[in-house]
Amino acid sequence: MTCIAPRKTTAGFTLIELLVAMTIFGIISALALGGLNAIVTQQTIAKAQMERLASLQRTLRVMTEDFAQLNPRPVRDILGQSTEAALITSPGDENLLRLSRSGWRNFAQVRRGTLQRVQYRIEEDVLLREYWPVMDYPLGMEPRQQELIDGISDLEIEYLDDQSQWQAQWPPLNQTGGAPDTYPRAIRITMTLSDWGEIERLVDLLP
């Protein structure tokens, strides 16, 4: 008589168990993906804010250096018939101010002076710093341009006179004496950014 061995059964997952496992896996994956997206978004925002802060710090540093190194050297106009003061402002004009400064670095060791004529102006919410390769304005020479920071909604520059009064322009309209290239005692920069609001910097010009 032949004996038939019992058939071995193989344990496995049922269809319901597979569906439940897949559902749980999908939920965990969705949560993980959402957390990853949040981290990436936060990193992107943080990077943009750091770049914005670096741009603001660079702008204020450049402006502070320009004002701190004011030079009394006036310049001749384009036609060479008259001179322009070392520091002159234009309230209400797109050209905020022009100034003469010393300490122009010469990394390339080219043959030129260390004085520089600088102009600040705003164009389409961008603060521009422009300068001429030479001090006096030659006919037809356009200034070289440097973009400092964008998102400028307002920029106010005030000048502290000898009477401790803040003036909106320089030389002051009520100036009755002294040389036309007399410097202010301090300069106050109030910059309003569309995203960060009002930023103020005070530059002391006293020796």
CATH number at residue 165: 3.10.610.10
The model's pTM is 0.74
Q: Is 90 exceeded by the pLDDT of residue 65?
A: yes
Inside any domain, residue 200: yes
Calpha distance 169→96 (Å, rounded): 9
- Please state the domain count of the chain: 1
- For 109-156, the pLDDT digits (tens) are 666 678 899 999 999 899 999 998 888 877 678 899 999 999 998 899
Sequence-distant (≥ 6) Cβ neighbours of residue 96 within 8 angstroms: 89, 90, 120, 121, 122, 155, 157
Calpha distance 172→180 (Å, rounded): 10
Inside any domain, residue 33: no
Calpha distance 60→201 (Å, rounded): 8
Inside any domain, residue 123: yes
- For 72-104, the pLDDT digits (tens) are 888 887 776 788 888 988 666 666 899 999 987
Residue 22 binned pLDDT confidence (cut-offs 50, 70, 90): confident
Inside any domain, residue 14: no
Inside any domain, residue 7: no
Calpha distance 156→158 (Å, rounded): 7
Per the structure, the complete domain to which residue 138 belongs is given by 66-204
